Structure 1
Amino acid sequence: MARFGTAALTALVLVVAPVPAAAHPRDATAQVWLTSPDGAYKMTDAGTVALGPAAETATPTIVVDPNRRFQTMTGFGASITDSSAAVLYRLDPGQRSQVMAELFGRDRLNFLRQPIGASDFTDEPAYTYDDVPAGQTDYALRHFSVAHDKTQILPLLRQAARLNPELKVLGTPWSPPAWMKTNGSLIGGRLIDNPAIYRAFAGYLLKFVQAYKAEGVRVDYLTIQNEPQNRNPSGYPGMDLPSWQEAKVIEQLGPMLRANHLNTKILGYDHNWNEHPNDAANTPPDETADIDHYPQELLASPAARWVDGTAYHCYAGDPSAMTALHNEFPAKDIYFTECSGSQSGDPANTFSDTLKWHARNLIIGNTRNWAKSVVNWNLALDPANGPHTGGCGTCTGVVTVGDQGQVTYNAEFYTLGHMARFVRPGAVRVASTSFGTTGWNGQVMDVAFVNPNGETVLVAHNENDNPQAVAVRLGDRQFSYTLPGGALATFIWRGHSDDRPIAPTGWTATASPASATDVPANAVDDDASTRFSTGAAQQPGQYLQVDFGRTLRPERIVFDTGASTGDYPRGYTIQASRDGQTWWAAPTAGTGQFSTGNLNGRQTRYVRISVTGESGSWWSVADVRAYAR
């Protein structure tokens, strides 16, 4: 691992170096980029670490399995809100261009979620693109115009696309025009339950896509309503839109987009991982099915044929809700579309707090739970976290722009950059064991990707305030690295693995003895942050038995202790069976974190590992993996 003296480090963090072309020999080294919560490292090029042969080590080892694949990534970014545009336009043109180049050139942000009309972050009265005097309507949308956006927002969007041609844009309304709503106001209320209104609102969204296209900005995605379960927005545009009404709008919008030969995709929901308790408490009695189930209700409706996926926010619940939805509707994509950084009670801690929380929950937690995108909220705000109308007074931007032109690159710039600079659009998330949790358990948490050019990217976060060493293994190669306390790191290398991991779908486990909390099922839940444990000292005869649920022909099976590397079996045997009656002994290898049995491709449904030695240590298994021939 590269080390730096104080003077050298100071020089390094003044300017973030551009991402270099891969210069390391294939399979020889991994490049390291590092950000630490004290700001000593800010996307610092920390040099390379050597890749050597895979070997037993006392250091917890992350296993990357590139041949087990999950979602294809779309992008990472934020939102050019009215407020973001206003503060960026306080800069002179040259400085503004420099900031945009940092964001979309060097940090390579490539996803923008754009408000359709006003949000809570605006420096002017709320508006939509089809406002008419109170009491009037405009079903034909003759007054529709995006002229408001031509001064600042559209020029910035075009500039972002020039800097990064991979840019994707998602459009989201905070409110339809007031004449479409039950209360005649942009704040609160509902969409009028009338087919003509549903058609008009769908037409409004269509016209937005067409108008932006005419201005040189392609809108790749639409959602129907920002935070549709936020029934009482605090002084800013918003609307209660239950799933049944959203479905009615989508059933109008989908055919309109197709008839106009537009490839804009529709995403549903666009709200929290789980419904906020305050929102749930205000749910009408006849709509309680939407509580913590809105996306499922929408995807079970006839409108689902027009819905490409579901969009999520971070303000209630946790990222596991996205995996639960994926398991129910695996053909529908998942996007994460909003989370704001927040000023800490002690502003001096904001960088550190944001780096750690966003690393766990957004950068790693979201992507490990099927999100194809990670999008922060405001791209830029002023030092007072504004301007804004109602809503959040402590939200922070990716950058802060001061009154005298000072520009501060916040923790969000670096957390997004750890992904956006290195995980290319079209990259595929691949399997990797991860020991940390979104809720914090002090371990190392990670996520891995394979880029279209074959590079492997691992993003890892040390949840502990103390340095932690970790090893990373891919196939028959591995490297080791010590992560500073709280640090976020990106590792990039070229490698290859012929391993063919088998997804643990339908696997079950039994054991004797078993801890009341660290149950056998934890060993086969595809989550190395949970574990099976005996909860007692090791004695001969203790066992863990895995049932694949069907007959397989595995080449080998691995019992992995995870981060509890001291809890390995002090002597063990591995047996396998096709029917649970006749067992045969498998050759074994490994005396530490990995206990491996060679199953030789024989027909196998059951595998049992049994302890043959004694130790005062518990015996634990965090992850069981099987590999095909």
Structure 2
Amino acid sequence: MKLWMCCIVITLTVLVQVSSADDKPCVPRRFDQDSVVCVCNSTYCDTIEGIESKQRPSNPIPYWYSYTSSKAGDRLSYKFGGFTTTASSQILFTVANTTNTTIMGFGGAFTDAATMTMKTLSDDARTNLIKSYYSPQGIEYNFGRIPMASCDFSNRIYSYDDHDGDMTLEKFSLVDEDLKYKIPTIKDAMSVSRRKVSLFGSPWSSPYWMKTNNNMTGKGTLKGEVDGDYYKTWANYFVKFLQAYKEQGLELWGLTAQNEPTDGGYTDFSFQCLGWTPQTQAIFIANSLGPALEAAGFGDIKLMILDDNRALIQYWSDIVLKNLEAAKYVSGIAVHWYLDLIIPPSIIDEAYNEFGDDYFFLNTEACEQDLVNLKNSVKLGNWYNGEHYFTDIMQDLKHGIAGWVDWNLALDMNGGPNWANNFADSPIIVNADADEFYKQPMFYAMAHYSKFVEPGSKVVSYESNVSKTSGVDAIFFVRDNGYFTANFVNINEDPLDISIKDPTVYGYVNIEIPARSFVTVTWWSNTEFE
């Protein structure tokens, strides 16, 4: 224990101060929902530097720092205070010394829709949007997902080789959507980031002429035998994609073998898809995709399987990863969030307990939609959507998921563009007519993780006397430098006082978790971990 920790006066006074200084506050605006959005334009956007930029108190006593976002309108509001000698609340969280999952990070997708929508802004407003996600003044995403050619969030259906019968892919080429929109946006994001941005690609469909129904939409698989010519050509399509992006100055970190491989099994599926079973995916990876990547010098690519809802995680992993020839090319298991409200996280535990030592688990897609009326999906200022994001991330990270990648980085006021009219909400909505954009509660839900839970942080165990029905929940993390971060959520309509005990620090953190809020608390610890 540090000497100064032994010398703290027993009557330590709490000091709490609202940050002045460096961070630019949210400019709130209320639409027709229960909370606010933060408005940004070409000349102004709220920023968040993080605790590294804050002036440290001069006293040698242990301090905590907090950031709060709430339905009432707080957006990453900063405070700091001192540890106190007694716990002021009956709700107590005590930090333990066992670490679990190592965090890989957080991010979003550079879809056609997102990058084209950003381009409708003036240059300065677009720059503020990109900085909001990736810069040190923003929430510091470190992942970016790239659709390989078109998906529903495109203006049209296309592949990189729409020339029937081009089995050697001689006419493969990137298109305007890549060259004018996705690639420039990715480069701009990487240029403002101080963190390494890991990019991964995901295919929605092969070219129409490779697919059994001769259509990039609707039910269909690759033509021919699973180990046949079309499967070899499709594997080379991945290689061509990686090579083309590398020629543009972007080296990808990873790939998913197929976006939502079960979609291609549904008759008349409404947007781009390609059907796989775990059995066919295993054979494809073992005999075609894995060898093709390795032969082309991309053997280090982090290849992920599944890329679909958690309901399939145990079944899919059990088949693909027990094919040893396929498994040697696989690094991770990708999941989507769309059935999380009805599929319990225990299904992740089953797969994690069996495969977690050898493969990472990553959430690779999430979005909010009004499934009754898709044209009504954009809900500016809806607090529940933010809570849904925050609590789902918390649940995933508690059960072995190492990171969480959102869907579209930005969409227009209608929740598009989307050629299939499959509109959705997004953490940032762009109003091109006004040359401004709106940061939703979902954006700040992501921020409480992506900004303060750095890649390499570890999930830490804790004990609590709070009941599962209390409406408050928490997750704890630690960095290599000894900083603890705790994220709390309160879904109640009333505030709650809580206390935190770190056995290596004298005293308690006593803090209020406001009604309907997210709170991040961080402090320095002496804990030695198992």
Give the TM bin, normalised by the shorter chain: 0.7 to 0.9
- Could you tell me which residue of structure 1 aligns to residue 323 of structure 2? 301
Is 1:326 equivalent to 2:326 in the alignment? Answer: no
Separation in 1, partners of 2:465, 2:262: 34
8 Å contact 1:87–1:380 — kept in the other structure?
yes
- Per the TM alignment, residue 497 of structure 1 is displaced from its structure 2 partner at its CA by 1.9
Q: Is the 8 A contact 2:497 2:512 kept in 1?
A: yes
Maintained 8 Å contact 2:459/2:477: yes
- Check the 8 A contact 1:434/1:444 in 2, yes or no: no
Aligned counterpart, 2:208: 178
Superposition pairs of residues 80-159 of structure 1, within 5 angstroms? 80-105=110-135, 106-123=138-155, 125-132=156-163, 136-148=164-176, 149-159=178-188
Q: Are the aligned partners of 1:24 and 1:30 in contact in 2 as well (CA < 8 Å)?
A: no
Query: Considering only aligned residues, what root-mean-square deviation do their CA atoms show, in Å?
Result: 2.7
Partner of residue 406, structure 2: 376
* Matched residue, 2:290: 254
Q: Which residue of 2 aligns with 1:48?
A: 80
Contact 1:435 1:444 in 2 (8 A): no
CA deviation after TM superposition for structure 1 residue 430, in Å: 1.8
Residue 315 of structure 1 corresponds to which residue in structure 2? Answer: 338
Q: Distance in 1 between matches of 2:185 and 2:345?
A: 31
Alpha-carbon distance in 2 for matches of 1:104, 1:78 = 10
Which amino acid in the other structure matches residue 274 of structure 1? A
Matched residues in 2 for 1:499 and 1:146: separation? Answer: 48
Q: Distance in 1 between matches of 2:92 and 2:276?
A: 47
Q: Distance in 2 between matches of 1:325 and 1:80?
A: 29
Number of the residue aligned with 2:476: 448
Alignment match, 2:245: 212
Separation in 2, partners of 1:499, 1:3: 31
The answer (yes or no) to whether the contact 1:209–1:219 under 8 Å persists in 2 is yes
Structure 2 residue identity aligned to 1:320: S
Q: Work out the CA distance in 2 between the residues paired with 1:499 and 1:186.
A: 51
1:401 aligns with 2:430: yes
Report the TM-score when normalising by structure 1.
0.70
Q: In the alignment, which of 366, 379, 384 is matched to residue 339 of structure 1? A: 366
Aligned twin of 1:76: 106
- Are the aligned partners of 1:319 and 1:361 in contact in 2 as well (CA < 8 Å)? no
1:309 Cα deviation after fit? 1.2
Q: 1:475 aligns with which of 481, 503, 507?
A: 503
Structure 1 Cα separation of the partners of residues 55 and 348 of structure 2: 37
* 2:262 matched residue in structure 1: 229
Aligned-partner Cα distance in 1 for 2:518–2:470: 13
The answer on 1:28 being equivalent to 2:50 is no
Deviation per CA, 1:106-159: give whole Å up to 9, x if none.
111111111101111112x21111111xxx312211111113310111000111
Alpha-carbon separation, structure 1, partners of 2:471 and 2:144: 32
Residue matched to 2:275? 240
Superimposed CA distance per residue, residues 176-218 of structure 1 (whole angstroms, 9 cap, x where no aligned partner): 1112211111012112242212211111111111211111112
1:214-241 CA distance string (max 9 Å, x none): 1111211101111111233742101221
For residues 441 and 363 of structure 2, what CA distance do their matches in structure 1 show? 18
The aligned counterpart of 1:506 is none
Letter in 2 for 1:471: S
> Which letter does structure 2 place at the counterpart of 1:30?
W
Map Cα deviations across residues 362-401 of structure 1 (whole Å, 9 max, x no partner).
Answer: 2x111111111111111110111111122632x1112101
Q: 1:183 to 1:433 in 2, by over 3 A?
A: farther
Aligned 8 A contact 2:367 2:425 in 1: yes
Q: 1:433: Cα distance to partner?
A: 3.7
CA spacing shift, 1:346–1:181, aligned 2, 3 Å: closer
What corresponds to 2:9 in structure 1?
A: none
Alignment-mate amino acid for residue 458 of structure 1: A
**Equivalent-residue separation in structure 1 for 2:108 and 2:246 (angstroms):** 20
Aligned-pair CA distance for 1:311: 0.4
Alignment partners' CA distance in 1, 2:311 and 2:519? 29
Q: TM-score, normalised by structure 2?
A: 0.83
Match of 1:421 in 2: 451
Alpha-carbon shift at residue 295 of structure 1 (Å)? 2.4
Aligned to 1:286: none
Aligned to 1:601: none
Match among 71, 94, 98 for residue 63 of structure 1: 94
CA distance in 1, matches of 2:345, 2:151: 25
Q: Deviation of residue 426 (structure 1)?
A: 1.6
Cα distance in 1 between the residues matched to 2:293 and 2:377: 48
Of residues 170, 192, 196, the one that matches 2:229 is: 196
Cα offset, 1:429, TM superposition: 1.8
Q: Check whether the contact 1:234–1:391 (CA below 8 A) recurs between aligned residues.
A: no
- Give the whole-Å Cα distance in 2 for the aligned partners of 1:56 and 1:12: 32
Are the aligned partners of 1:27 and 1:495 in contact in 2 as well (CA < 8 Å)?
no
Instruction: Provide the C-alpha distance between the structure 1 equivalents of 2:206 and 2:61, rounded to a whole number of angstroms.
Output: 54
- Letter aligned with residue 260 of structure 1: A
Q: 1:13 to 1:227 in 2, by over 3 A?
A: same
The aligned residue for residue 461 of structure 1 is 489
What 5-or-longer segments of structure 1 have no aligned partner? 276-289, 501-629
Query: What SS does the aligned partner of 2:170 have?
Result: coil
8 Å Cα contact 1:441-1:463 kept in structure 2: no
CA distance in structure 2 between the partners assigned to 1:346 and 1:241 by the alignment? 30
Give matches, 1:419-568, under 5 Å.
419-433=449-463, 441-477=469-505, 478-498=508-528
- 1:78-104: per-residue Cα shift (whole Å, max 9, x none)? 111111111101012122112111111
Q: Tell me: CA distance 1:11–1:80, structure 2 relative to 1, closer, same or farther (3 Å).
A: closer
Deviation of 1:254 after TM superposition, in Å, equals 1.9
Bigger-Rg structure (1/2) = 1
Question: Does the 8 Å contact 2:504/2:525 carry over to 1?
Answer: no
Distance in 1 of aligned mates of 2:418 and 2:466: 36
Aligned length: 471
The alignment partner of 2:419 has SS state of coil
Contact 1:471 1:479 in 2 (8 A): yes
Is the contact made by 1:187 and 1:238 (CA closer than 8 Å) also made in structure 2?
A: yes
Question: How far has the Cα of 1:17 moved from its partner?
Answer: 3.3
